[in-house]
Structure 1
Amino acid sequence: MDASPTRAPRKTVFAAALVCCAALAAGCTGPVARGGQDTAATTRAAAPPAAGDLQSQYQKVIKEVLPSVVQIQASNDLGSGVVYDGTGDIVTNAHVVGSEKIFKVTTANSEEPLTARLVYSYPEQDLAVIKLDKVPTGLKPAVLGDSEKVEVGQIVLAMGSPLGLSSSVTQGIVSATGRTVSEGRTGGGTGATIANMVQTSAAINPGNSGGALVDLDGQVIGIPTLAAADPSLGGSAAAGIGFAIPVSMVRTVAEQIVKEGKVVDSGRAALGITARTVVDETYQPAGVAVVTVRSGDAADKAGLRPGDIITGLGGRPITTITSLAEALAVDKPGRRTSVTYQRGGTEKTVEVTLGEQ
C-alpha cells in the first residue's frame, strides 16, 4: 500500500446512527443454564486475571492522564492540546493553531471554554505553545516520558477530541519508531518533515492532533499529529496508521518556547538553499534544482550555485524536495556529509558542513 501521511486536525461534521441491540425474546434476562446456574457469572469467574488487570490499568491511566488533555477551538479548526505546566502553558500542533492568536480551550475542570493566546508556533516541527489567560483550579500538567524507552509492540492510548468528541480515548500499540514523515500543505498542513516519529495503530482522527499518546505508566510519549491516507481509497484515512511527534522533541521545543518565547535552537540540519524538484525526459522526479543560495551558509561555503541539481546527500539518493527534506531531518547541524550534484551535465561530489534551519 502506497500510503501518504495527512494531517488530522480538521473539525468534521458527521451524523451518528445509534443502533440499540436488545434481546427480543420475552422474559429474556441473560444466559441461564439448567438448574438456574448463571452462565454469565461462570464466564466472568473463569476470565483470566490478566484481562482484568489490564482493564484496570487502562482505567487507571485514563483517570490520571485525561485531565491533562484539553480541547482547542480556533475559528475554523478543532484540535487537542496537552497541559505542559501548572502556569497555563499548553503544547499542541502548529497546524491546530494555524495563523490565529486567540483560542477557546476546554479543560477537564472547566464547564465553560477558557481563553488562551498563542505564545509561539514552530511550523518546521509542527509544534506550538498557547497559554491560558486564567489558570483554573486543579489544572494538571501531563507527565512526559522518555523517547528512548519507547518500544515496538508497547500498548498505547491516544487521547484527544476526535471529530469534536472531547475526552475520547483509543487504544493500540507502537507499530514502529524512527519514522521520517512529510506532512502536506493541503488542507492547512505546515509541510513539515519530521524525523523519529512514533507510528501507532491507535486511531488518529480529525481533532486528535495535538493530543496525547500515552503509555501504560501514564506518561506522554508523543503528540498525535498525522494519519496516513491511502491513495487507492481516494485519499481516505488508512486505518491503523497514525504518527506522533516523539516526546523528546516535544519537550525540547516546548521548553524553549516557554523559557525564551521562541525556538532558539532548532536542532534541524539545513543546506541554506531554496530549491525545486526537477523531472527527466520521462517526467519522473530526477533531482532538486538549487534556486537560491544563502550567503555564508552551508551550501555557499561548499561551492554550490543556483542551477546545480542535487541528486544525493550523504549517500542517499535525492529525487524530490521531500526526499531532500527527509534526508536533512535525520541529520544534525554541524555534521559533515557529502552532496552529489550535477552541473553542466557533469556529476560532482562535494563535502559540506550542515547548517541549522
Structure 2
Amino acid sequence: MAPIPIRTVLISDSVDPRCRAVLEENGIRVTEKQNMKNDELIAEIKDYDGLVVRSATKVTADIIYAANNLKIIGRAGTGVDNVDVDAATRKGVIVMNTPSGNTISAAELTCALLMSLSRNVPQAAMSMKQGNWDRKKFMGAELYGKVLGIVGLGRIGKEVASRMQSFGMRTIGYDPITPPDVSASWGVEQMSLEQLWPQCDYITVHTPLMPSTVGLLNDETFAKCKKGVKVVNCARGGIIDEAALLRALESGQCGGAGLDVFVEEPPKDRSLVDHPNVISCPHLGASTKEAQARCGEDIALQIIDMVKGNSKSSTTLPIPHLKNTFLELCLCEGTSVISEKLRLMEEEVFAKIQIL
C-alpha cells in the first residue's frame, strides 16, 4: 500500500512508554496529554496526523471531524468500541488496534476468576483479614470434571480453554465464525447456545459488545442453565444483563459471578459489586506490565508500517453493506487479507445467537 505521511501523533491516554519511544525513533513528533475533556481534545487534535488512545478517551464524531489532518487512530488494546469507526471511515481515517496484545492477560484473569469462584478465595482472604477462621463457611467445589461453556472462541476463548482443560474441565463452546473442526483441535466441542446453556457448570463470555450480544445472558437464558451455574465476564460490560444477573444470584439460579467489566465503569449501582457471591475487579483484564508493553509497542509499530507503506497491521474497517459490522483485516504488503480470526464479529453472523 502507499505510504501514509504521519509526522505528529497525540497520545491522549496512559500508554506504555515504549509506544512513544518507537514513534520518536522513527522521526515522528509525539505529544502526550492525558485526562482531557471532550472539548479540550477537540481543540487539541486539530493539527495532528495520528491519535493513540487506550480506553479512557472516547473518540467521538465531533473529535474526528475537528481533526483537520488526522489520518490514523490507534487503540492500544483489543476492540475499538470507544472509537466512532463510522465517522472515521466517512472522513477517510484508518482505525487500528492491537487485538492480540491483551490475549494472555485477559485469559489468565478469566481463569483466576473461575478458580476464585470455585474456592471462594477472595471471600476467605477477606474473612481472615477480619480476624476470622471459618473453614466451613467457604466450602468450595473442584473444577475437575466440571463443564465450562465458552461463548466466543477467538484468541482469548482459545487460551482459556487450553488452561482450564489442564484442571480436567470439559470445554464446550459457541462461535459463529470459528469452524467446529478448528475448535475441536483445541479440545472444545461446539454446539448451539440452546444446547450449551443447560450443560454448563461455569460459563465465560468472550464476544464483542454489539447489538446482537447485549444481554446475551438474560432472564431467559439463565432459566435454561443449571441451577447454581457460575458466570465470568472479562470481555465487555453489558454482554451479561446486570439486572438479570442480580435476580439470578438472589434466587440461587446463578451460584456466583466473576466480573471484570460493567455497563457503567466505575459502577454507581453497587448491587452486584456488594453481593456476597460476586467477585469483582476494576477492569483489570489488560492490566499487566506485559500486556501494556505489548500493546504500546504493537500500535506504534503498526503506525510505522503505515508510514513506510508495508503495513501488516490489524485495521478495523466497516463493511459498507452491513450496518454496524466490522471485519478485522490484515493488511499484508498492500494486500487486504481477512484475518484467520475475525474478532470483531460480523453482526449478521453473530445475530444467529438470537435465533438458535
Provide TM-score, normalisation by structure 1.
0.20
> Relative contact order (C-alpha < 8 Å, sep 6+): which is higher?
2
- Asked which structure has the greater CA Rg, the reply is 1
- 1 or 2, which has the higher strand percentage? 1
More helix by share: 2
